[in-house]
């Protein structure tokens, strides 16, 4: 059995990456230094590690979740903000394994272009994908959501003024 200790450094606190090893989801735990650590075991000589970032706006029922959270959060006042940059992590690499493996992944600053991570390990590895990119679909949905919230706020203000005038006028 081969053991892989995976350590990820430099992540923004808002970013929660999805880590899969050969198609199996690996849960990373935050340590006291605000980095993620994950350990997994395999009998293979080579594994494919994929690190991605899922944007909530790409979900199937994103509009329903956004509407419900808008209402529950007192019309958006206490709602956590969506990432307006909509930057996605796409990192995939193959790692040749020894008996015990230490892999340190350092995340670069999120930008529209450039390498997503720097990999430090004594093992041999090959990078398949390593980039940040802007998800245009999520960016469009974010704009639609923002405009919808603005229209809803205008409607709420107009209704409030209407009811106040009717209440005071009587």
Q: Is the dihedral of CA 105, 40, 42, 24 positive or negative?
A: negative
Distance CA 24, CA 157 (A): 49
Strand pairing class (87-96; 125-134): antiparallel
Please tell me the predicted confidence (pLDDT) of residue 151.
Answer: 93
pLDDT band of 36, cuts 50, 70, 90: confident
The answer to whether residues 142 and 86 touch, using CB atoms and an 8 Å cutoff, is yes
Please tell me the predicted confidence (pLDDT) of residue 43.
Answer: 87
Q: Where are the domains of the chain?
A: 2-169
pLDDT band of 94, cuts 50, 70, 90: very high
Strand pairing class (2-9; 36-42): antiparallel
Distance CA 162, CA 149 (A): 20
Please tell me the predicted confidence (pLDDT) of residue 13.
Answer: 66
Query: Which DSSP symbol is given to 33?
Result: T
% helix, strand, coil for the chain, step of 5: 30, 40, 35
More confident position, 12 or 44: 44
| Integer CA distances (angstroms), 127 to 11, 18, 33, 95, 115, in order | 20, 17, 27, 9, 11
Q: What is the mean pLDDT of the chain?
A: 85
Rounded to the nearest angstrom, the gap between the alpha carbon of residue 135 and the centroid of all alpha carbons in its chain is: 12
Q: Is the pLDDT of residue 59 over 80?
A: yes
Segment 5-17 shows an average pLDDT of: 79
More confident position, 33 or 23: 23
Segment 89-112 shows an average pLDDT of: 87
Q: Is the pLDDT of residue 169 over 70?
A: no
Please tell me the predicted confidence (pLDDT) of residue 40.
Answer: 86
Strand pairing class (100-107; 2-9): parallel
Q: Is the pLDDT of residue 146 over 70?
A: yes
Q: Give me the helices (H) in 26-135, please.
A: 62-72
């Amino acid at each position: 059995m081969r053991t892989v200790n995976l350590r990820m450094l430099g992540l923004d606190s808002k970013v929660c990456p999805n880590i899969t090893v050969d198609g199996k989801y690996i849960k990373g735990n935050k340590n006291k230094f605000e980095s993620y650590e994950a350990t997994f075991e395999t009998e293979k000589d080579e594994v494919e590690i994929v690190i991605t970032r899922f944007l909530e706006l790409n979900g199937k029922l994103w509009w329903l979740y956004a509407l419900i959270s808008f209402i529950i959060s007192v019309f958006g006042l206490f709602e956590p903000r969506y990432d307006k940059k909509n930057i996605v992590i796409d990192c995939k690499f193959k790692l040749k394994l020894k008996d015990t493996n230490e892999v340190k992944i350092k995340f670069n600053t999120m930008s529209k272009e450039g390498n997503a991570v720097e990999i430090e390990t004594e093992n041999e590895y090959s990078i398949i994908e390593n980039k940040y990119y802007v998800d245009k679909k999520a960016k469009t949905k974010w704009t639609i959501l923002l405009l919808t919230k603005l229209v809803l706020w205008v409607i709420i203000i107009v209704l409030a003024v209407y009811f106040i005038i009717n209440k005071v006028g009587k």
